[in-house]
Amino acid sequence: MTLQLAEIFYSVQGEGTWTGTPAVFVRLAGCNLACSFCDTDYALKFVASVDEVVARVRAEGGDCPMVIVTGGEPLAQSATAALIDALRADGRRVHIESNGTIDVALPDGVWLTVSPKERLHPAMAARANEAKLIVDGNVPHAWAASFPPATPVFLQPEGNKPANVALAIEAAKRDPARYRLSLQTHKFIGVR
């Protein structure tokens, strides 16, 4: 089985629950959405088999426990399920970062971050371990309401702009059981 990929690199998770945790990032190519504001380069750079990706993860990150499979939309590729299984068999804790549009049954123990854009599949909202919402001039409360009450919802100010940071902090202070602030810490320290 082959995967279409944009990049594989070893860094530190900069956002959400696992901020500061070293992780190997596997960015799959392609997305099923075409958001006008998208700033992610998910263009196809290379093709590799599942085994080759697992080997590359080891080459980049050694025994690092955490692997983040992201995109684009990582659940849009049919070989992603096999990749998840192979990474777990290699001793990794797999995290998926998805836009939540494609209903895919994920094994227990796989961490799912959902960042909804134009639509959201209810099954993926229910499965999410955390939600990540972009604050850009307003707080998307309607998206937040799509997730179960116990799911942590991270408000991420677009571009780390002060006005968006202020909006996110205000919302979190008003509803502390629902919201947390998530800054893109990797951008502060200049790592990807």
User: Catalytic: 121?
Assistant: no
Q: How far is the CB of 97 from ligand SF4 (least distance, A)?
A: 9
70 φ, ψ to 5°?
Answer: -135, -170
25 is catalytic: yes
Task: Yes or no: say if 131 and 144 are a contact pair by the CB < 8 Å rule.
Answer: yes
* 97's tokens: 């970062």
Q: Is 38 a catalytic residue?
A: yes
| DSSP H helical ranges for 62-159 | 80-89, 122-127, 141-144
Partners of 181 in beta bridges: 155
Specify the amino acid at residue 148: P
Per CB under 6 A, the segment of 27-35, 58-66, 75-83, 85-93 that binds ligand SF4 is: 27-35
**Nearest residue (CB) to ligand SF4, 40 versus 78:** 40
Which one of 14, 16, 72, 74 is in contact with ligand SF4 (CB under 6 A)? 72
CA-based torsion, 143, 140, 76, 23: positive or negative: negative
Q: Which of 115, 3, 19 is nearest to 11 (CA)?
A: 19
- Hey, which residues between 87 and 106 contact ligand SF4 (CB under 6 A)? 99
Is 186 a catalytic site residue?
A: yes
The nearer residue to ligand SF4, 33 or 169, going by C-beta atoms, is 33
- The reply on whether position 82 binds ligand SF4 by CB under 6 A is no
Contact (CB, 8 A) for 17 and 66: no
Shortest distance (Å) from residue 152 CB to ligand SF4: 20
Please indicate whether residue 118 is annotated as part of the active site.
no
Among 1, 38, 55, 59, indicate the residue that binds ligand SF4 (CB under 6 A).
Answer: 38
Separate counts of helices (H) and strands (E) for the chain:
6, 9
Contact between 73 and ligand SF4 by CB under 6 A: the answer reads: yes
Residues assigned a catalytic role: 25, 31, 35, 38-40, 97, 186
Give the footprint of ligand SF4 on this chain (CB under 6 A). 31, 33-35, 38, 40, 42, 71-73, 99, 117
